[in-house]
Amino acid sequence: MPSNDILDHYAFDDLPEWSGEGEVVAKFYSTLEAEVAAARLRAEGIHCFLANSISQSITPHLPGIIRLHAHPMDADQAREILQEASIETDGPLPGKNSGTGAILLLAIIIGLILAWLLVQSIG
């Protein structure tokens, strides 16, 4: 008698034939980050798939790791691409506040203190 439990009826037809030998090239806590990384690899022609992405979206309050798998032949190249992508985004983004607000605030405070000291010495 077939079970009516939805968890017993996953369709694994869309996984590549090499999925059993796929190599984990990255791990993520965020589904969005994992999807972006997978899209980056696919754009470079590297076949990959995510494991645990559906369970993470169903139970986001539980800690889980989403694994990005690639074919073992492409694993090193996939890691290099992901490393390059993370290096490109490590610095401050153009147009974003990169500490100039704190410097400006400090300059204003120093100016106010100097103005107050000047007023005190005159009066």
pLDDT digits (tens, 9 = 90+) for 35-75: 899 999 999 999 888 887 666 556 666 667 888 989 889 99
**Nearest-angstrom CA–CA distance, 102 and 86:** 27
Tell how far CA 112 is from the center of its chain.
42
Residue 26 DSSP class: E
DSSP assignment of 37-68, as one string? Answer: HHHHHHHTT--EEEESHHHHHH-TTS---EEE
Residue 111 inside a domain? The answer is: no
Q: What is the pLDDT of residues 78-114, one digit of tens each?
A: 999 999 887 443 444 455 555 667 788 888 899 899 9
pLDDT of residue 93: 47
Residue 78 inside a domain? The answer is: yes
Asked whether the beta carbons of 74 and 37 are under 8 A apart, the reply is no
Tell which wins on pLDDT, 26 or 89: 26
User: 15: domain range?
Assistant: 6-90
Number of domains present in the structure of the chain: 1
Residue 103 inside a domain? The answer is: no
pLDDT of residue 61: 63
